[in-house]
Amino acid sequence: ATKAPKYDENGGFDLYRARLESYLRQRDCWNVVLGTEGPDAQNAERQRIYEERNLFARDTLLFGLLPKDAKKICTLVRVTEMWTAFERDKTRRDFANSICIGAKLYGAKYAKGMNMDKYLEDLEDYRRQLENMNDPITDADMASIILTGVEGTHRNVVRMFNRDVNPPDLERVLNTLRSEAEMDEAEE
């Protein structure tokens, strides 16, 4: 990558970390971020190299962050301290957000009159957000979550999948619900 990565909340912390690590490894600066390479007062040449790498990594981090995040860490001198503070802030917030998004996903109920495609898209969006926060939902779990959410309006579909010995296949669940919704619309 020739351009320094930018953090954005949609991509999340893990994606930014991976991009930043790749970018700074290519420039031999990632060890300064990790703290495995530090100042060396005994060796002037190594001290100069460290200071250059620290400055480059600091600039990369500060320019890549959202202003509200950069403001919190800009007074720190060593990039390793900046990175640790940023990482602690983001991972703590991601955990709280993942609980909230998980509650929305697991608690979503389909009701008569709702648009099935929109309902399923919203659930998939919650799933993607959780995956970005390092809290992935398997296809089998997603199929169960969806069937639980439509139980009140699509009992026959839920019964059909409950008869199967194998866990429900996500694609089959999605396709069945979409075609049921199309038939319901045609009847109205």
pLDDT tens-digit readout, 135-152: 889 999 999 999 999 999
Counting every residue written for the chain, the total comes to 188
The pLDDT of residue 173 is above 80: yes
**Mean pLDDT in residue range 85-104:** 86
pTM metric for this prediction? 0.56
Candidates 119, 99, 98; CA nearest to 174 is 119
Token duo for residue 5:
């990565």
Burial of residue 11 (number of CB atoms within 10 Å: 0-12, 13-18, 19+) = middle
The fraction of the chain above a pLDDT of 70, given in percent, is 98
Which of 6-10, 33-37, 87-91 reaches the highest mean pLDDT? 33-37
Candidates 69, 60, 59, 82; CA nearest to 9 is 69
What band does 1 get if pLDDT is binned at 50, 70 and 90?
A: low
